[in-house]
């Protein structure tokens, strides 16, 4: 049941990846129909990331005010409206608007879906469950490339290509009705009985009421108690009163799980005050992060977000067919098909990251991935200037493999570990917005830079990859094997990467660290 829930929720990741992959092929068929220029192509691609910047805050506000499940349902609306606008568009401006709307869905899903899945999963399976989202991103990218290639001979093929995401979006909307609400959000709202029922159904396969009898187990009640305590502690840190739960929750759950009937995490503070109040509070929290005790962690998160996209990782996927055409691949159909190999390498890299993230460590993967990506980009610079199609494709595949085995997933791992629950929502939204804003910029200039600078443009990206590795080396401590409290204590002390523990070979031999985490965005 847990993986079914994760798969339904992670359709947002599939749509993210599908959109990322489809535009690479659709652009080639869109260009003659809409008379696109190089600048308009960059605009169309980059608008999705620009929309995602705003989508991160919309997603954060939606899930705080209306819950994770309803936020997923609202998110599907962006993936329905955006493709429709693109499919009926007759000029670059309309298609760009559709891309912006889709980007809103991309940004919202990047915040909402991992948070929801992480809150539904038990601690010992959280990493493997949440990686379903990243795997769905990869699956979406590969699927879109194959669908684009399959539609190549259809009249107005690009319109069908950009409209295809509407079908999984309908499935996502329908599936959201079957999803249970996050237990954590229910506890925050004071609905303890509902939270207990959801936890019991996830861990035991059914609700707590069976033939009129309460069949909740001690383990489930203990998990609810732990969740309630964490929420109460978070509320105490920000000085919010505990408030009153509903009467039935106090009577039914208070006795079973030792939750005091007179106190529970209910709606207060920003909860129940509307989307605008939630958004304003998030901005205040972000401003407070720049000078508070978690300012060092916040700075690291923003720099990692910047380097994640300054390496042009998504631009390589978006413009891979264009790059292949420029280095000698004559057929648009062949360019689209060959470019799908880059997406396949992303899937392989993410799969490797799942195995290595708790074994080799976060910091080690980022270091190795940075320098391997730099070497691949340097090779692409040479192959591009030489007009070597095979060499260019090979270097793009190696780059994507190196990036996906490190930065693609590990960034979200580290981001989930840096912050206390009190500031995590605002911090993650700000970091995700930085990531998407940087990605939008690289998409806006990628083709122009390649035309103006030739291979030197990719050489510059190689230098950025090296800088990313140097930054990680100097500033990011290893977080694998540490509790969240230990990680946050190191961040607050500002010791950077000093005092590292066992090397990566030792960690690899030991296997996954106890309590290893992949993503926890809540």
Residue 37: CB partners within 8 Å, gap ≥ 6? Answer: none
Comparing 61-65, 81-85, 102-106, the range with the smallest average pLDDT is 61-65
Beta bridge partners of 210: 213
Q: Which domains does the chain have, with CATH numbers?
A: 2-180+287-510 (1.20.1250.20), 190-266 (no CATH)
Q: What's the mean per-residue pLDDT of the chain? A: 80
- Strand duo 213-214 + 209-210: pairing: antiparallel
- pLDDT over 90 percentage in the chain: 28
So what's the pLDDT on residue 207?
53
Longest dimension (CA), the chain: 75
Q: Are 31 and 181 in contact (CB under 8 A)?
A: no
Average pLDDT over residues 203-211: 58
Report helix, strand or coil for 191.
coil
So what's the pLDDT on residue 85?
95
So what's the pLDDT on residue 516?
41
Please, where are the H alpha helices in 311-454? 313-318, 320-326, 332-356, 362-386, 389-404, 407-418, 421-453
| Phi, psi (rounded to 5 degrees) for 175 | -65, -30
- Report pLDDT digits (tens) over 128-157: 666 677 778 888 888 888 888 888 788 888
pTM over 0.85: no
Average pLDDT over residues 468-477: 93
So what's the pLDDT on residue 264?
39
- Report pLDDT digits (tens) over 368-421: 999 999 999 999 999 999 999 999 999 999 999 999 999 987 887 788 778 776
Neighbours of 509 (CB within 10 A): 9
How far apart are alpha carbons 411 and 417 in whole angstroms?
10
Closest alpha carbon to 132 in 275, 278, 261, 11: 11
Residue 474: CB partners within 8 Å, gap ≥ 6? Answer: 496, 497
Question: Which helix (H) or strand (E) element contains residue 214?
Answer: strand 213-214
Token digits for 79? 């993936």
So what's the pLDDT on residue 502?
47
């Amino acid at each position: 049941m847990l993986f079914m829930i994760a798969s339904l929720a992670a359709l947002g990741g599939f749509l993210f990846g599908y959109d990322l992959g489809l535009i690479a092929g659709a652009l080639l068929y869109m260009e003659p129909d809409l008379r696109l220029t190089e600048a308009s192509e960059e605009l169309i691609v980059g608008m999705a990331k620009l929309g995602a910047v705003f989508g991160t805050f919309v997603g954060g506000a939606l899930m705080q005010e209306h819950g994770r499940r309803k936020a997923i349902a609202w998110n599907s609306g962006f993936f329905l409206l955006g493709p429709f606008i693109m499919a009926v568009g007759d000029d670059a401006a309309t298609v760009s608007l559709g891309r912006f709307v889709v980007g809103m869905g991309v940004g919202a899903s990047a915040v909402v879906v991992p948070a929801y899945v992480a809150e539904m999963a038990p601690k010992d399976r959280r990493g493997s469950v949440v990686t379903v989202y990243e795997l769905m991103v990869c699956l979406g990218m590969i699927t879109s490339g194959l669908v684009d290639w399959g539609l190549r001979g259809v009249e107005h093929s690009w319109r069908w290509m950009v409209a295809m995401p509407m079908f999984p979006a309908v499935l996502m909307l329908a599936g959201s009705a079957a999803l249970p609400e996050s237990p954590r959000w229910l506890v925050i709202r004071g609905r303890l009985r509902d939270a207990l029922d959801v936890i019991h159904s996830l861990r035991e396969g059914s609700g707590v009421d069976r033939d009129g009898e309460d069949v909740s187990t001690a383990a489930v009640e203990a998990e609810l108690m732990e969740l309630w305590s964490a929420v109460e502690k978070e509320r105490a840190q920000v000085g919010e009163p505990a408030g009153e739960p509903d009467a039935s929750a106090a009577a039914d759950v208070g006795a079973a799980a030792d939750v005091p009937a007179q106190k529970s995490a209910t709606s207060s503070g920003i909860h129940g005050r509307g989307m605008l109040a939630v958004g304003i509070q998030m901005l205040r929290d972000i401003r407070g992060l720049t000078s508070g005790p978690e300012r060092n962690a916040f700075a690291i998160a923003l720099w990692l977000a910047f380097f994640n996209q300054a390496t042009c990782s998504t631009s390589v996927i978006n413009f891979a067919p264009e790059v292949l055409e420029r280095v000698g691949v004559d057929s648009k159909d062949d360019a689209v098909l060959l470019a799908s190999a880059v997406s396949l390498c992303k899937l392989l890299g993410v799969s490797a990251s799942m195995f290595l993230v708790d074994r080799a460590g976060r910091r080690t993967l980022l270091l190795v991935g940075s320098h391997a990506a730099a070497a691949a980009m340097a090779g692409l610079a040479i192959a591009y200037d030489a007009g070597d199609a095979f060499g260019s494709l090979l270097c793009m595949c190696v780059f994507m493999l190196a990036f996906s085995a490190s930065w693609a997933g590990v960034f979200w791992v580290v981001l989930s570990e840096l912050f206390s629950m009190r500031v995590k929502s605002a911090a993650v939204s700000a970091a995700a917005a930085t990531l998407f804003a940087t990605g939008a910029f690289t998409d806006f200039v990628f083709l122009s830079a390649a035309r103006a600078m030739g291979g030197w443009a990719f050489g510059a990206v190689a230098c950025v990859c090296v800088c990313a590795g140097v930054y990680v080396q100097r500033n990011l401590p290893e977080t694998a094997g540490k509790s969240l409290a230990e990680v946050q204590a190191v961040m607050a002390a500002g010791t950077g990467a000093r005092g590292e523990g066992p090397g990566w070979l030792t960690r690899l031999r030991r296997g996954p660290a106890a309590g290893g985490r992949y993503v926890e965005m809540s």
